[in-house]
Chains A and B, each alone.
Chain A
Amino acid sequence: MNRKTLLNVGVPLLSLVLLLLLWQGIVVVFHVAPYIAPRPMAAIRSVTDNWSTLWPLVLGTIRETVYGFACGAVLGLTLGAVMAKVGFLQRLVYPVLVLSQAVPTIALAAPLVLILGFGVGPKVVIVAWIVFFPVAVNVLDGLSHVDQDLVNLARVYGAPRWRTFVHIEVPASATPIFTGLKIGATYAVGGAIIGEFLGSEGASLAIFQEHANANFNTAAVYGTTMLMTVIGISWFLLVIGLETLATPWQRRSVARRYRWRR
């Protein structure tokens, strides 16, 4: 492991350890009762002890997050691109987009449950609702600020509009697009949890936590919160990984050449 990797992995891990130590310190120093706040190890143990119950619920939350994020991202990318290209549509749709985010998610949930039931549907819609806005706005901003000299150059060389869009405008907007996706990824798990909390048929991670809270099982409440956080961070890191793969020019000025073995 080289020094750079050590720094990239070690320092965030160190901050996590420090955070857990701080938590442990507060609980011990202030004699916080376990039913108010557990020690970190008790919270972690509640997850490992209940893993066989929690794992299917974690998978359910991941599924809702992935479906919702995919729908929200596709919708956001499409809307952003269309608005960037058609000025009239931008004027027509943009205020509605802003308005959509002013609607409290909780107010949205009740009618969604009534329309779509207690299954995965309302959760996917809530996640998509949360994700599409930052993606759409960032795509719009990115495409609106592409260097016009590059676009003009492509046109001079006779590139059709779609090719200019794919090869010039999209790569040039990659940074804001991924910024939107990363913001969306951060909120996506939260959206799935809100969706689960506002109505679930059978078991779900949020309802497990709600029951644990009602049953004074504070360790399980903190444990499930940690699990939700891990899902959220993993999803965010996955989008960063995707960004790294999709934008190699951001780390090296010369494209990597691959030689085919014969």
Chain B
Amino acid sequence: MKLSRVRIGILAGSLVLGTVALSGGGASAKALTNVTFAYDFPGPDFELVPLVVAQDRGYFAQAGLKVKIVFPPNTSTTTKMLALGSADIGMLTTSDMVIAVNAGAPVLSVANYSMHNNWGLFALPGTSLNASTLKATLKGKRIFSYGDTWTESMLPFVLRYAGLSTSQVKVVTDPTGYDLTFLLAHKVDVSTNTTNYELPGWAGSNKPGHLSELLGTKVGAPDVPIWTYAVTRGYASAHGATIRAFLSAVKKATIWAAKNPAAAAGEFDMAYPKSGYTDAYNKLGWSLTVPILTNASGQYFTQTSAQWTTLARALKGIKLITNVKPPGVYYTNSYQP
């Protein structure tokens, strides 16, 4: 009987505590604003580190947000997800942004993800890839492309620098393949990719030597940011405070992840253990991403009119868009923390 009373007491106490805790939790959950974030790739990879860190370390919750991360079916759909309202904030390449605006999509870049152009050419160790002999290196060769708009817009700069036309090289397009596999199998001679994705891939192949690389910016490609955070104009005008809160949390997370790259990549591994990438790949990938996140002044996120105008002119030059619009049509920094 005595024991029963003790049990009843514990039970009643637990119920009271539980009710208090639940009611408190319920109140804070209600206060959170739901945000759906669409990544630019069909699956998670290390460029998602800032979002994962902001989730894990509670920066989103502190900013009053409950962020759900979704993935597009292919690399061309994030903008459409924003336009259709199936995502609120998205990550895009800046070239996709400009092309979408040209097509009439009401999208607006609110912050740069990265600040530099780390796209380039890659070849197997021992292959000479340098600016002075580029024409001889590329002429008649098979160049791999994922068929993305960034490669489409940057490759003409490189070919023009080398004094080659597109008919003098063989561009091999495979949106679903893996360029390093084709390089290793000698099915292509030169590959195109960004350094933060290509070099971890090579490291993971355990092949001897260093991959030959030539940054596009050294052979005519403009040094403009590749990735950006974007919203629709409608979402921006209705949810300005939410965008500001989101960028504030992501900036805090990005700064933390840049200072603690190994720990940040570890948090990504924990969040997405089935991403298909190894811990070493994610660590190296993120550590190679960190240097491109800030501009020369050490700033994160800040966009410039020059970057958008340069890119839009480049895209018009290769007829991917018809008009170069005023830079304010593409971006705003006004939602940044």
Mark A residues whose CB is within 8 Å of B: 33-36, 106, 109-110, 113-114, 117-118, 197-202, 207, 210-211, 213-218
Contacts and interface: CB of A to CB of B under 8 A. Distances in A.
Contacts of B80: 35-36
B320 A110 contact: no
B134 to A, nearest CB: 21
Contact of B103 (A117, A118, A197, A217): A217
Contacts of A217: 103
Contacts of A106: 176
Interface in B261-300: none
Given A118-B187, A214-B149, A216-B99, A33 B83 contact: yes
Interface of B: 74-76, 79-80, 83-84, 96, 99-100, 102-105, 142, 147-149, 152, 170-178, 181-182, 185, 187, 320
Contacts, number: 81
Given A200-B173, A202-B171, A214-B149, 9 more contacts: A34-B103, A118-B174, A199-B177, A200-B172, A202-B170, A211-B147, A214-B96, A216-B100, A218-B103
Contacts of B178: 110
A33 B171 contact: no
A204 B163 CA distance: 26
A211 B176 contact: no
B77 to A, nearest CB: 8
Given A201-B142, A214-B76, A214-B96, A113 B174 contact: yes
A210 B170 CA distance: 18
Contacts of A35: 80, 83, 100, 103-105
Contacts of A202: 170-171
Contact of A215 (B149, B172, B182): B149
Given A35-B80, A114-B187, A215-B320, A210 B147 contact: yes
Nearest to B75: A214
12 contacts: A35-B80, A35-B104, A36-B84, A114-B182, A198-B176, A201-B142, A201-B171, A207-B175, A214-B76, A214-B99, A216-B79, A216-B102
B73 to A, nearest CB: 11
Contacts of A113: 174, 177, 182, 187
